[in-house]
Amino acid sequence: MEMQKQDKKLRIIPLGGLGEIGLNMMVFEYGDALFIVDAGLMFPEDYMLGVDIVIPGFDYLKQNKSKVAGIVLTHAHEDHIGALPYLLKELNTPVFGTPFTIGVVQHKLEEHGILTTSSLHEISSDEKLRLGDFELEFIRVSHSVVDGVGIAIRTPVGLIVHTGDFKISHDLTDSMITDVNKFARYGEEGVLALLSDSTNVEREGYTISDKEIYETLDKIVSKSKGRVIIALFASNIPRIQQVVRIANRNGRKIVFNGRSIEVSVNIAKLLGYIDIPKGIEIDVNQVGNFPDDKIIIITTGSQGEPMAALARMASGIHKEVKIDKEDTVIFSSKFIPGNEKSIANIINKLFKLGADVIYEKISAVHVSGHAFQEELKLMINLVKPRFFIPIHGEYRHLIQHAHLAEQVGILPERVLLAENGQIIEFDEQGGIIKENVSTGRVLIDGKGIGDVGRSVLRQRRILSEDGLVIVNMAFDEETGIIVYGPEIVSQGFVFETESGHLLEDAKCVVLEIVEDIGPEVEDRAEIIRTKLRTALKQYFSFTIKRYPVILPFILEV
């Protein structure tokens, strides 16, 4: 029996997050059990027209449903928990996370209507969790959300350390500082492999201190003659706590505006993760009862989301808050790649309304939650792993993190540079990268899950770039004579009033085809449809160098 156990191998399988920012999901498998670390989403890329969110493919997990012992969450950011509702609809398995993470997950699952059927369990950094042959211990880490953890995973072949998202900061409260001593203790014990966050590997030095952000925000608030409106991520409770302290110091009332901010703050209040002095918080409806220089509004919309509170303020359609010339608006968050245009659009609108707008490029009003190069080096030196696996990042981030590991003494052959779907296999002799398992991206569009694929996206792109031309026509079934049409309508192609001749000439192309195919021809309508598509594509290509989608509707009556 012992011999069989030794023959088993540890398999680590990334299903998302190794090759992109977001979509984080990783499987740890040994024998007849596996567990999942995180289940994150990614926001759509530019070519994914109409898509709301992207989640990892669950094929491998569905194929091994009987082996799944649980899902372990490192923290409450969407790129780590956003796919959880969709995963739980496929696998009804226990979910483990720290109290704040579980609080956010409860709200999310309630929105999806599956809270009552889900099994949620709180964990802490002081306890151990047994899943199959795995024993998990949790390590407190500092990040831009409270209650983040790394994981030490004891396996039959050795100890694995997964950092989660982290930075190493020494100026936060004790409950938020990365527990470097615990990481070091694992390093002394002997670590087979370290899986470490690569997001900010391109940034030299150390992350700037939260104290510096506090001092910058405090200075801006104290100098502001009107209201201060601060947009940030709803889950960034440490930053919200800083703003509350600044409001109290400057004699200002605090307003939380935006559904996700209100939910997040309420969870933090219930768990004791935020301290709001009595009498300082007011409702958004009470803003008009106080002088402008006595108000700070913490709001949603730091990424330019069109329906968020800040976007409504910028567009002048917010019911309670109208921007004026004394207002100062602060974007206290990172601009996520892909959102720059939306954010710039809101910043421009706010400037036009007379507000003073402050953001990361012009002032130190945001600090990243991800470690810079020197902190990443320190993590490797603390843990002293035999093998190193860079995780969380685009391929360039993983490559640069691999180089960083080699600089601090990890042998190149012991740096395992894996991509999504590749199996990282460990046994008593060491680790190698093996074959791929099925993985990929699933697009969520409204209530549709995975029903939008490449062909649909290609059609949407063509429609968005070249538009649509519809041909309506009806024949008498017996005589073959045209009784209606041809009518040609275009959408997103050309203005009919400006190029009526173009569509009129297109009718001539249609009539020529109809004349060539007599009423005696079998399947006449279908043949005409096929020839119309080809002929009109050629005609529009020749005359206007555009390639619209051609949709012929032909009836025989």
In the chain, ranges of CATH 3.40.50.10710 domains: 210-358
**Percent of the chain residues past pLDDT 70, beyond the cut:** 91
The distance of Cα 526 from the centroid of its chain, to the nearest Å, equals 45
Q: Assess whether pLDDT exceeds 60 at residue 65.
A: yes
pLDDT tens figures, 1-49: 343 444 689 999 999 999 998 999 999 999 999 999 999 998 765 555 5
Q: Taking Cα atoms as reference points, which of 397, 513, 500 lies closest to residue 22?
A: 397
In sequence order, the 6+-apart residues with CB closer than 8 A to the CB of 359 are 330, 331, 335, 343, 347, 365
Q: Which fold has domain 2-205+368-449?
A: Metallo-beta-lactamase; Chain A (3.60.15)
* Start-end of CATH 3.60.15.10 domains in the chain: 2-205+368-449
For domain 467-556, which CATH number applies: 3.30.465.10, 3.10.20.580, 3.40.50.10070, 3.30.110.40? 3.10.20.580
So what's the pLDDT on residue 53? 75
Residue 502 phi/psi, 5° resolution? -65, -45
pLDDT tops 50 at residue 275: yes
Residues shown for the chain? 557
Q: Would the pLDDT of 462 be above 80? A: no
* Residue 496: predicted pLDDT: 55
Question: Cα–Cα distances in Å, from 66 out to 33, 35, 270?
Answer: 8, 11, 36
pLDDT at 156 over 70: yes
Residue 237 near residue 268, CB atoms below 8 Å: yes
Token pair 């499987």 is found at: 27
Residue carrying the six token digits 């024998």: 31
Cβ(225)–Cβ(218) under 8 Å? no
Burial class (CB in 10 A: 0-12, 13-18, 19+), 511: middle
Residues carrying CATH 3.10.20.580, the chain: 467-556
Mean pLDDT, the chain, integer:
88
The domain 210-358 having CATH identifier 3.40.50.10710: the answer here is yes
Please name the residues in contact with 501: beta carbons below 8 A apart, sequence gap of 6 or more.
Answer: none
Q: 50 pLDDT exceeds 70?
A: no
**At 35, phi and psi to the nearest 5?**
-135, 165
